[in-house]
Amino acid sequence: MVATDSGYIPRTVHLQQLGEFVDQLNTYFGQPDLAQASERALRALKMQDYQHVNKYMIEFSEHATHTGWNDVALYGEFYRGLAERIKDQLLSLDRPQMFQQLKVAALKCDTRYWECQGEKATPSGWNRQAASSSVPVKLGSNLTASSDAATTSHTNPGLGVDGKLTQEERERRRLKGLCYYCGITIDSPAPDCHNSRHPKPAAVGRATFTVTGEPEATIEEVVEGPPTESEN
């Protein structure tokens, strides 16, 4: 019970009114320790190398608005939380004097970094020129090989694009008794074929008969081969 001029008020009513007062206070003025919470969040905020600076800038601004810090304090805290790759790039530039200039410079460095990463993933400059110049050579050789294979297939229908007999052609020649090399019947002479299964061609020449002057005549058959180059 709480004593008042009008009597005693139950403590539960008093605590209820205090809770409502705190709720209204938070509604109009926010959390009493919001500034401290924002300061702690800023000091813990750190941009990772794989992140874009835009995300870091948004989170930083959300906490910075509740701290009440000036641009000098925000400048130092913003620089501290930047990724190391951006700090390295900022060293090669003129030092930004204002907080807003620092954010613009960090944004440019981050954009340049991701552009370089994209160029590393795809050929560019001299590499792209070398790659483009090598493509026609490779295509030309492929076209030459394709044209040769097409000519071979046209003159020899049983050959594939690799210059070898197709399985269907091999089976057809086997059933018909044809040579796998020249396509002529295996039982027929083929002087230009390297297959030894072809029969040897008969000797070409003329037959002459000689009668000797002995009492008992004998006939000799002389088979002459084809004339040689010296005889021609």
Segment 164-209, tens digit of pLDDT: 778 888 888 888 788 877 878 877 887 777 777 777 776 555 555 5
- Cβ-based neighbour number of residue 42 at 10 Å: 22
Torsion sign (Cα): 220, 225, 230, 232 = positive
The CA distance from 88 to 116, in Å, is: 15
The CA distance from 146 to 150, in Å, is: 6
Q: Where does the chain show beta strands of DSSP type E?
A: 2-4, 7-9, 207-211, 219-223
Highest mean pLDDT among 2-6, 9-13, 102-106, 120-124: 102-106
Task: Tell me how far the alpha carbon of residue 227 is from its chain's centroid.
Answer: 69
In terms of pTM, does the model score above 0.75? no
pLDDT at 60: 95
